[in-house]
Structure 1
Amino acid sequence: MKKLAIGILISGISLGFLFWKLDLSGFANIRERWEPIYLLPFFAAIIWGLSLFSWRWYLLLGKRIPFKTALLSSFIGVGANQFLPARGGDIFRLYLCKKDSDANYGSLVSALFLEKVLDFAFIFSAGLGAFFLLGIHQDFVRFLLPLVGIASILGVLVFVRFFHKGIASLGEALFSKVGKGEFFRSKLSPLVLELGGFLSLNNAGKHGLLTGCTWLFGYGLHYTLLQYLVGIHLSPMETVFIMFCGAVGVMVPSAPSGAGVYHASITSGFVLLGRESSEGLVYATTVHLGQMVSLGILTAILYTYWSFTGKERIPAELSGEKD
């Protein structure tokens, strides 16, 4: 409850600052350039992007759950993230997978952790790369900053790949000094070891490629279609940069779905691109509202379907059954 209150406060401050400082005239001009025909392909793009997301989730779990379960849990979980605090939809996704399969929570949490690492590594590298290629306010320092950022991300992943066992041992020793050795050993060490074992060239290449396709041809597609919806057009490289800004926005503690912080982050991206701040706020509001409405409808439909058709499994350890 305390984290939710802090998040709502941060969102409230962000929204207050935006409406206080920015020119809202862009909203008045939406009717003149509104093209509702793009709502249908946007909705289809949401489904396509989440299908790619679901397929990656299925592969990260080693195909230990049915693809139908991976698909339903992904759609419902991502939709729930729009309304639940602290990315609660991800927890809900784990619950749905556990309920409809024999997968244990350890493997589910490890897969979720790998998913976040892949998303973070790709979108930050892509965003910093776009920042560099677009030449946004580049002096000598800003010229090097994106390259250093990308090299740092790749360097950390390579370091974890080759020294994950040593990192786990060192972490356990350090946590033991403050009386948290068992916590690190049971909760964090498995994640470090899982990540190190996962980061082979084959896995990184295969899942990295799928992650790139999910962002560029999934999320990027619906970001692009909404530009046509409100008549605000960006180049493909600018769209990647704005997606990066949006991703940064939802990482900051805020109200459910990143309200306020998400808008401020995308608006800042527009300003960096030399565009009007009012355009950025209109675009951020359109993307945010479009995602919330589309995902809300899909989540309601699919959760109702899952409620009536989902398996009612009880883990063997709870039912008293033994193999």
Structure 2
Amino acid sequence: MKDVKKWLPGALISIALIAAILYFVDFGAMMAAIRSANYYFLAGAMALSFVWMLGRAKVWQTLLRDKPAYREVLFATGEGYLLNNFLPFRLGEIGRAFLLSRKSGMQFGEILPTIFIERSVDLAFSAALLLAALPFVAGAEDSKSVGIIVGLAVVVGLMAMYFVARNNQWALEVFHKLSARWPSLQKFGGSFLESFFAGLGVLTDGWLFLRFLFWMTLDWAIALLNYYLILRAFFPQAQWIWGFFILGAAAFGGAIPSLPGAVGTFDGAIVGALTLFTGDQSTALAAALAARFYNYLNSGVIGGIGLLREGQTLTGIYQQIKDFRKKDE
């Protein structure tokens, strides 16, 4: 029952959006759009989806201060995205930290905050893209307040993490005072927080954080080009600003609670955003399915190779993560 309460809200959101898509989309028109798509553009987008994954691994390795080998970070990144596609509760984020900790020598608690930082900055980029595109999008005025709220929340969150990282000794002392009545919690929590604060230390290293922002900006530029090629494959009249808005919307859709793989939310965000430009829900769904297919493809290939190298399976990793979480509770 406890697990049901966790996944039910996301499942309801996904189901509602899937139902809306099924109601509005003409599947005959969607299939016609797929058959008539420009496959040269789609081939370019497919190649870029793998380049994006290579860049995403470099982003994460930079946050990890280049301690793990790039190859191990790349496979762990692919494994994490693969897990997110099939497992609930976005366990891929915990999963990639867990998997990398077993093969890099870094502690789980040191790796985890780098994922928080990465995801927070992702939200900032998606909010910036939405806000940059809004003046060119009719009927999307409500997105402005969402973008501003998310952007402010990200800034506040990063500032809070920076404060804790700069004052980690004070934060540890406060924790030890508050947890004095529970020795077991104090013992585990103290060691975990020490490694967690070490991971947050990237925020206090100005040059390292600038390197991270460089790779992150480059990776988002690759994603923008990728989405633009997908849009051009289905909508020859597509403009660059469409890519800004659709990519930002897709990133928000992927962050909303949902079924595994952001089923419904990711697709609904792209279809809704594209419909504002074109009024064509059916062709918009064809473009959304292409973007989804590439997400499955790059994570399936890179993550699948990683799991095979380590003799792991999705179900096996899921059970190990559950056991790991229970041990730490």
Kindly tell me: are residues 238 and 188 of structure 1, through their superposed partners in 2, closer, same or farther at Cα, counting changes over 3 Å?
farther
Range that drifts further, 95-104 or 277-286 = 277-286
1:281: which partner in 2?
A: 285
- Contact 2:10–2:259 (Cα < 8 Å) also in 1: yes
Instruction: Give yes or no for the alignment of 1:202 onto 2:204.
Output: no
1:134 counterpart (133, 136, 158): 136
Distance of 1:71 and 1:92 partners within structure 2: 14
Question: Structure 2: how far apart are the matches of 1:37 and 1:85?
Answer: 35
Q: 2:311 aligns with which of 307, 310, 318?
A: 307
**TM-superposed deviation, 1:115:** 1.4
- Aligned partner (choices 9, 31, 52) of residue 12 of structure 2: 9
In 1, distance between residues paired with 2:158 and 2:201?
A: 8
Partner Cα distance (1:136, 1:196) in 2 = 42
> Residue 221 of structure 1 corresponds to which residue in structure 2?
225
Contact conserved, 1:270 with 1:277, CA < 8 A, in 2? yes
CA-atom RMSD, angstroms?
3.7
Deviations 1:178-233 (A, max 9, x none): x999699777897678647615543443212211111112x223222323443455
Contact kept? 2:123, 2:151, Cα under 8 Å: no
Query: Partners in 2 of 1:101 and 1:190 — Cα distance?
Result: 14
1:230 corresponds to? 234
Partner residue of 2:263?
259
User: 8 Å contact 1:122–1:211 — kept in the other structure?
Assistant: no
Report whether the alignment pairs 1:295 with 2:299: yes
Q: Is the 8 A contact 1:129 1:147 kept in 2?
A: no
Asked if 1 retains the 8 angstrom alpha-carbon contact of 2:76 and 2:96, the reply is yes
Aligned partner of 1:95 among 84, 95, 98: 98
Aligned pair in 2 of structure 1 residues 186, 240: CA closer, same or farther (>3 Å)?
A: farther
User: Hey, what does 1:212 align to over in structure 2?
Assistant: 217
Hey, what's the Cα distance between the residues in 1 that align with 2:115 and 2:143? 33
CA distance in 2, matches of 1:66, 1:144: 41
The question of 1:29 aligning with 2:53 is answered: no
Cα distance in 2, alignment partners of residues 90 and 102 from structure 1: 18
Equivalent residue, structure 1, for 2:321: none
User: Which residue of 2 is the match for residue 61 of structure 1?
Assistant: 64
Moved more, 74-83 or 46-55: 74-83
d(CA) in 1 for partners of 2:55, 2:107: 23
State how far apart, in whole Å, the 1-side matches of 2:195 and 2:302 are.
34
User: Quick one: structure 1 residues 187 and 26, their matched pair in 2 at CA, closer, same or farther if it must change by over 3 Å?
Assistant: farther
Distance in 1 separating the partners of 2:14 and 2:149: 31
Matched residue SS, 2:124 = helix
- Cα distance in 2 for partners of 1:113, 1:43 equals 28
Q: CA–CA distance in 2 between the matches of 1:105 and 1:66?
A: 16
Residues in 2 aligned to 1:191 and 1:158: alpha-carbon distance in whole angstroms: 16
Change (3 A) 1:36 1:117: same
1:121-173, CA deviations, whole angstroms, 9 ceiling, x for partnerless residues?
Answer: 22222222222x4254487x98788667656654664575458668986xx69
Equivalent residue, structure 2, for 1:111: 114
What SS does the aligned partner of 1:206 have? helix
Partner of 1:247: 251
SS of corresponding position for 2:104: coil
Q: 2:124 is matched by which residue type in structure 1?
A: A
Q: What residue in structure 1 maps to residue 326 of structure 2?
A: none
Write out per-residue CA displacement over residues 274-317 of structure 1, whole angstroms, 9 at most, x where no aligned residue: 54333322221221133224432443334223439xxxxxxxxx
Where in structure 1 are there 5+ consecutive unaligned residues? Answer: 309-323
- In 2, the alpha carbon distance for the partners of 1:144 and 1:81 equals 28
- 1:12: Cα distance to partner? 1.8
Which secondary structure does the structure 2 equivalent of 1:307 belong to? coil
**Whole-angstrom distance in 2 between the partners of 1:110 and 1:293:** 27
Tell me the equivalent position of 1:75: 78
Measured in 1, the distance between the counterparts of 2:124 and 2:95 equals: 24
The one-letter code sitting in structure 1 at the alignment partner of 2:21 is L
**Matched-pair contact (CA < 8 Å) for 2:15–2:264:** yes
Q: Which runs of 5+ in 2 are unaligned?
A: 313-329
Number of positions where the alignment pairs a residue of Structure 1 with one of Structure 2: 303
Aligned-pair CA distance for 1:262: 1.3
Give the alignment's TM-score, normalised by structure 1. Answer: 0.76
2:221 alignment partner AA: L
The more displaced of 258-267 and 154-163 is 154-163
